[in-house]
């Protein structure tokens, strides 16, 4: 079966071509995004790569069995979130977490920076990264899905299994914490 009109506006394939080419296309389209999310949620570049590999192994298995058009972008994000949560729950994670990872700018950029992003100094980016790591895990998840992935509050709520009000509350608290720590800067 051939791809009809490529992707829809959510980045998902409208029809399912053969399994191998669907997997390859989805891998190319979403790999950098999934690694970036795992890096944000795990704070370890090597662990993020391992988690992303696990996500794409599950994708490979799913593309072999899925016969209907499917919302792959949301599915991949959900699998990545669950994979990162599973890794954070494991016993050795607490032991390893005692050693905080250094900020590595190149690991988070999956696209060319905008002129606005280029104007922010390295020190400010490091400070923002430390402050982001200081948010609760739920606030980090909500913040990443809302502002990095640019999902609506309702989509984030559905993804995380909470109410839209809960998402808004976590966002409010996260943004308030970041603004307060940055001295009211935007």
- Render the chain in DSSP notation, one character per residue: ---SSSB-TTS-BSS---HHHHHHHHHHHHHHHHHHHHHHHHS-HHHHHHHHHHHHHHHHHHHHH--S---HHHHHHHHHHHHHHHHHHSHHHHHHHTSPPPP-GGGT--SPPPHHHHHS-HHHHHHHHHHHHHS-HHHHHHHIIIIIS---HHHHHHHHTS-HHHHHHHHHHHHHHHHHHTTS--
pLDDT at 52 over 90: yes
Question: Average per-residue pLDDT in the chain?
Answer: 79
**Residue showing tokens 């949620």:** 41
Res. 105 pLDDT band, cuts 50 70 90 = low
Inter-residue contact 48 to 39 (CB < 8 Å): yes
What are the boundaries of each domain within the chain?
1-104, 112-186
Q: CB 40: neighbour CB atoms within 10 A? A: 21
| pLDDT on residue 15 | 46
Instruction: Give the pTM.
Output: 0.66
**Residue-wise pLDDT tens digits, 55-97:** 999 998 888 887 666 788 999 999 999 999 898 887 665 555 5
**Residue-wise pLDDT tens digits, 11-51:** 554 444 455 578 898 999 999 999 999 998 888 888 899 99
Res. 118 pLDDT band, cuts 50 70 90 = low
CA angle 10, 36, 165 (to 5 degrees): 60
| pLDDT on residue 16 | 47
Domain 112-186 belongs in CATH node 1.10.10.10: yes
pLDDT at 6 over 70: no
| pLDDT on residue 123 | 77
Two structure tokens written together for 102: 């250094």
**Residue-wise pLDDT tens digits, 132-161:** 889 999 999 999 999 888 999 999 999 899
Q: Please give the CATH topology (third level) of the domain spanning 1-104.
A: Rna Polymerase Sigma Factor; Chain: A (1.10.1740)
| pLDDT on residue 122 | 74
> Which of these ranges, 31-40, 100-109, 114-123, has the smallest mean pLDDT?
100-109
| Closest of 41, 38, 45 to residue 102, by C-alpha | 45
């Amino acid at each position: 079966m051939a791809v009809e009109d490529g992707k829809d506006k959510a980045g998902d394939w409208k029809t399912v071509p053969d399994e191998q080419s669907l997997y390859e296309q989805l891998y190319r389209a979403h790999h950098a995004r999934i690694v970036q999310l795992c890096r944000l949620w795990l704070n370890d570049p090597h662990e993020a790569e391992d988690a992303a590999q696990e996500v794409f192994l599950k994708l490979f298995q799913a593309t072999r069995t899925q016969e209907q058009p499917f919302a792959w972008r949301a599915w991949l994000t959900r699998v990545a979130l669950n994979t990162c949560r599973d890794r954070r729950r494991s016993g050795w994670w607490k032991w390893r977490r005692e050693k905080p990872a250094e900020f590595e700018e190149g690991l988070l950029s999956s696209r060319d920076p905008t002129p606005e992003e280029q104007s922010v100094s390295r020190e400010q980016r490091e400070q923002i990264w430390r402050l982001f790591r200081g948010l609760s895990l739920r606030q980090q998840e909500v913040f990443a899905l809302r502002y990095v992935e640019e999902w609506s509050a309702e989509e984030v709520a559905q993804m995380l299994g909470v109410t839209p009000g809960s998402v808004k509350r976590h966002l409010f608290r996260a943004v308030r914490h970041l603004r307060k720590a940055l001295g009211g800067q935007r």
